Chain A
């Protein structure tokens, strides 16, 4: 059945193997077997090729070819893989059937990748659309409330919850100015239960102004420009509820913060960063945060500058100069990311890239996605970062 079986001694066997053509040395008789004996010479050549390619890929990986490094490395690896499969595994001399079988594995891996990758990498549009829907929602009903300057029990209750997460670290649970972080602060946080010491004032419009723009000349109280309008009013009424006898607003007071009581039109909604995020930064290092909070900022007063100050300043520093340590919450032990100067990042290359980075956030970095900006807002912030105006 097998012609080789008679000569079991090596010499002629070997030469037979080495000299026969590619498919030649198969010792099949009935067309079923595909015994390909790889000649030593071929094996050595292929091996030499593999080593050369390995050296090439190591050397080229040290060159800076930009985006080409990766495809090149994969190209070389694939040639190596083909050499191994074709010659070492002799698929070249094997049946078509086996080739198809083996190749099918890669087809399925490609399908797997092909289904997952678009979902991960090209969902951006979906988020942008969602973001726009969100903008509409936010600037519509959700967080603006009619006549927010008038206290209601609901607003006070809502204010209480926000106060617990946002303010009690400094102002204390009962509003006595004795929160955990108060010790490190100078001046001390306001005691809401007494009448003395108010700089801006206790009227609703004044507390509102404090939250929105900070206390002029004082850096200790962070600016909460990022809260939604409704949240801000809720806090105002809660803070005022802590002590009786707080003065009420006159129409002129309300006019000062841009509200016409006769007309229900409320001021434009300010963008907001997520509560948890602001919170985490606060509890992490209140003193530092206070030092950075925007109220002592001399920068421009353009729309872009204001938005930047309320939403981005805390992580990106003075006009995007970076160097701020942002804590990462997800890993143990704690680690920080120091922000780079924004103008050095890729995202600043164009308005589009910038919009995408802000709306979607930067996955894996601590840059949060903030969907609440309108196209004009984004243009203003971008403009401010680029030109300082």
Chain B
């Protein structure tokens, strides 16, 4: 594959598709369906959040003050930026400018690293302060007297943890398309993986767009 000429002709669509375009739209539809399953998975956690917040509003509003808004905001901006650079990477690939695409993908990858570094800082503070789920909760701050407080941190770690896991998977995918881009496998005629990884990455951003206010801002 790698040493084939870099044109759309370099990609042969599978025989059960009418054309490369047909194949592309099928792939894209598959990606949307996959994202549906993602929404349903993370949706369960959002419903849990909504229910418990409804039951213990005081506890949520006390506990959320123990999250660091500055770090959350930093991560929001990092992720939004990475979404932009991802988009630029994809559109460059679509237009055939693979060098530019590679640069933007690299920036996206760096953003993802930045996101995880901030996450690491946040998590280690929480561990240090004993703000942990369930029975591991050892913080004794008078504001956190509410007996169900550990529940907030269960949700916090579950939701941000699953999200961070997606970021890590996304980094793997970005690395993968960067490698393929570097090898010259994509062209204006064939860039399906680039665009679909882009979708995935935007979705990761999308989840964070909700997590940030729900956990850090309005508790």
Interface string of B135-147 (1 = CB under 8 A from A): 1011010000111
Chain A contact-residue range equals 35 or more
Interface contact A1-B8, CB-CB below 8 Å: yes
Q: Residues of B contacting A95 with CB < 8 Å?
A: 25, 29
Which residues, 1 to 15 on B, are CB-close (under 8 Å) to A?
A: 6-9
Q: Let me know if B218 and A73 touch, CB within 8 A.
A: yes
User: At the interface, yes or no: A51 with Cβ under 8 Å from chain B?
Assistant: yes
B206 at the interface (CB under 8 A from A): yes
Interface flags for A3-21 (1: CB within 8 Å of B; 0: not) read 0110011100110110000
Q: A102-B36, A105-B40, A364-B147 are in contact. Are A37 and B73 (CB under 8 A)?
A: no
Are A331 and B187 neighbours in the complex by a CB distance under 8 Å? no
Is B209 close to A, CB under 8 A? yes
Shortest distance in angstroms between A14's beta carbon and chain B's nearest beta carbon? 5
Which residues of B lie under 8 Å from residue A94 when comparing CB positions? Answer: 28
Chain B residues within an 8 Å CB radius of A101: 29, 32-33, 36
Which one of B92-100, B112-120, B165-173, B175-183 is at the interface? Answer: B92-100
Taking a contact as CB atoms under 8 Å apart, the answer to whether A364 and B56 are in contact is yes
A25-68 interface code vs B (CB 8 A; 1 in, 0 out): 00111101111011110011001001100100110010000000
**A69 interface residue (CB < 8 Å to B):** yes
Which of chain B's residues 201-216 have a Cβ closer than 8 Å to chain A?
Answer: 202-203, 205-206, 209-210, 212-214
Which residues between 123 and 176 of chain B lie within 8 Å of chain A, taking CB atoms? Answer: 135, 137-138, 140, 145-148, 150
Return A269 CB to nearest CB of chain B, in Å.
31
The docked-state distance in angstroms from the alpha carbon of A80 to that of B137 is 34
User: A328 — which chain B residues lie within 8 A by C-beta?
Assistant: 147
**A88 at the B interface (CB under 8 A):** yes
Residues of A within 8 A of B21 (CB): 28-30, 32-33, 35
Say yes or no: is B110 at the interface (Cβ < 8 Å to chain A). no
| Distance of A32 Cα from B148 Cα, bound (Å) | 53
Chain A residues with Cβ below 8 Å from B16 are none
Give chain A residues whose Cβ lies under 8 Å from the Cβ of B36: 101-102, 104-105
Residue of A nearest to B95 (CB): A13
Question: Distance in Å from the Cβ of A31 to the closest Cβ of chain B?
Answer: 8
Chain A residues with CB under 8 A of B9: 5
**Contact residues in A for B198 (Cβ distance below 8 Å):** 88-89
What are 26 A-B residue pairs whose CB atoms fall within 8 Å in the complex? A1-B20, A2-B8, A2-B20, A8-B96, A13-B96, A30-B22, A32-B21, A32-B25, A33-B21, A34-B25, A35-B21, A43-B84, A47-B84, A50-B83, A54-B77, A76-B213, A85-B202, A89-B202, A101-B36, A105-B37, A109-B43, A112-B44, A117-B54, A120-B51, A333-B138, A364-B55
| B residues neighboring A (CB under 8 Å) | 6-9, 18-22, 24-25, 28-29, 32-33, 35-37, 39-40, 43-44, 46-47, 50-51, 54-56, 59, 69, 73, 76-77, 80-81, 83-84, 86-88, 90-91, 94-97, 100, 135, 137-138, 140, 145-148, 150, 187-189, 198-199, 202-203, 205-206, 209-210, 212-214, 217-218
Residues of A within 8 A of B (CB): 1-2, 4-5, 8-10, 13-14, 16-17, 27-30, 32-35, 37-40, 43-44, 47, 50-51, 54, 57-58, 61, 69-70, 73-74, 76-77, 80-81, 84-85, 88-89, 94-95, 97-98, 101-102, 104-106, 108-109, 112-113, 116-117, 120-121, 328, 330-333, 335-338, 363-366
